[in-house]
Amino acid sequence: MSLILFACVVRIRDGLPLSASSDFHLDPQFLECRKRLKILSSILTQYPERGTARERDLSIHFHTSGGVSCTCIALSSYPAVMAFCFLEELSSKFATSYSATSVSLASRPYAFLEFDSVIQKTQNQFNHTNCAQPKIDMAKMQEDLRLRPPVLVSWEDMEFVNGMVNGRAEVHLETGELSYIALHRQGIGNVIAFLLPFMSCFGLCYLYLFYTSARKVKVSILFVTLCLCNVYLYGLRNHWQILFHVATASLSFHQIVTRHVAEKPPDLGV
């Protein structure tokens, strides 16, 4: 059973999500927790380095360092010391992988999507408590939490009232390096880049099943379109996802180009 259900790395100045683990939880309480976490991410500048919010069966924990905050949703029964060990390790790995400049220049959500594999691997390690941090690190964290206890964030502090968080603090989401118009255009571009490969796949299937004139030209156009769209989606898709799509398209391209039309037997219809 998973103890840490979800983890996400966000930029604290505007709450922009940089990378996150995959989650397939449809539990209403978890989905509500995700909503609260999104609101909390936008106001992290108001809180110190560490914090926790508890609600019935689930808890939110966050650890902030160097302009980035690592957050997670875990079962309330999961020890806080373990959760903060997990977040500190995640923070250390992220800081090693990406510079402060690249984080500052990130202009779209999940710009470091390839880091999700690191999140998932670390999350799996900590979900098996006997495979987690050495006892000496846990003891150090426990002492650190005793000396500097995490701030307790109330559930009411993470809800919108008339466009404000709990009616007290207005949320300002920065646009980074791009204007709102540029972000809108980029969103449309991403939608088109998802739809074109989808339609190209249907085109490749049709060309494989039915012989048409100028088949090589058509399949070449569809193959190039699919590859270019996947390159455009780099950042929203990681290296392995792009490699999978391009490899599948390459195999389809080869099968279509090398496939010969079956000749009719001379005695057909006799």
Read off the pLDDT of residues 206-218 as tens digits, 9 standing for 90 and up.
888 887 888 888 8
Q: Are residues 217 and 166 in the same domain?
A: no
Structural domain count of the chain: 2
Is 214 inside any structural domain? yes
Please check the confidence at residue 229 and state whether its pLDDT lies above 90. no
Arithmetic mean of pLDDT, 18-25? 82
Is 147 inside any structural domain? yes
Is 100 inside any structural domain? yes
Q: Are residues 120 and 250 in the same domain?
A: no
Residue ending a domain, among 115, 142, 170, is 170
Residue ending a domain, among 170, 203, 238, is 170
Is 43 inside any structural domain? yes
Check residue 266 and give its pLDDT.
62
Q: Are residues 107 and 190 in the same domain?
A: no
Is 29 inside any structural domain? yes
Q: Are residues 56 and 106 in the same domain?
A: yes
6-10, 34-38, 124-128: which range is least confident on average? 124-128
Check residue 5 and give its pLDDT.
92
Q: Judging by beta carbons within 10 Å of its beta carbon (0-12, 13-18, 19+), is residue 61 exposed, middle or buried? A: buried
- Backbone phi and psi for residue 156, each to the nearest 5 degrees, phi listed first: -70, -25
Q: Are residues 130 and 182 in the same domain?
A: no
Q: Are residues 44 and 15 in the same domain?
A: yes
Measure Cα distances from 230 to 102, 139, 198, 204, 222 in Å. Answer: 22, 46, 11, 16, 12
Check residue 74 and give its pLDDT.
93
Check residue 95 and give its pLDDT.
93
Neighbours of 52 (CB within 10 A): 19
142-146, 176-180, 197-201: which range is least confident on average? 176-180
Q: Which of 11-25, 74-88, 162-176, 189-203 has maximum average pLDDT?
A: 74-88
8-17, 53-62, 93-102, 261-270: which range is least confident on average? 261-270
pLDDT tens figures, 190-201: 778 888 888 888
Check residue 127 and give its pLDDT.
84
Greater confidence (7 vs 256) lies with 7
Q: Are residues 69 and 147 in the same domain?
A: yes
Q: Are residues 40 and 156 in the same domain?
A: yes
Q: Are residues 127 and 50 in the same domain?
A: yes
Q: Are residues 109 and 221 in the same domain?
A: no
Q: Are residues 11 and 91 in the same domain?
A: yes
206 HSE (CA, 13 A, CB side): 12
Check residue 98 and give its pLDDT.
92
Which tokens sit at 37?
A: 């976490």
Is 270 inside any structural domain? no
Q: Domain of 217?
A: 176-258
Neighbours of 124 (CB within 10 A): 13
Q: Are residues 16 and 112 in the same domain?
A: yes
Q: What interhelical angle do 215-232 and 239-258 show, nearest 10?
A: 180
Longest dimension (CA), the chain: 94
- Strand-pair partners of 160: 165
Check residue 119 and give its pLDDT.
93
CA-nearest of 108, 111, 83, 76 to 7 is 83
Residue ending a domain, among 170, 199, 222, is 170
Q: How far apart are CA 14 and CA 67, in angstroms?
A: 10
Arithmetic mean of pLDDT, 248-253? 89
Q: How far apart are CA 8 and CA 87, in angstroms?
A: 10
- Dihedral angle, C-alpha 162, 164, 168, 173, nearest 10 °: -170
Is 80 inside any structural domain? yes
Looking up residue 10, the CATH number of its domain turns out to be 3.30.450.50
Amino acid letter for position 36: R
Check residue 239 and give its pLDDT.
74
Arithmetic mean of pLDDT, 37-56? 90
Please check the confidence at residue 183 and state whether its pLDDT lies above 50. no
pLDDT tens figures, 87-125: 999 999 999 999 999 999 888 888 898 899 999 999 988
Is 267 inside any structural domain? no
- Strand-pair partners of 58: 55, 75
Please check the confidence at residue 267 and state whether its pLDDT lies above 90. no
Arithmetic mean of pLDDT, 62-90? 93
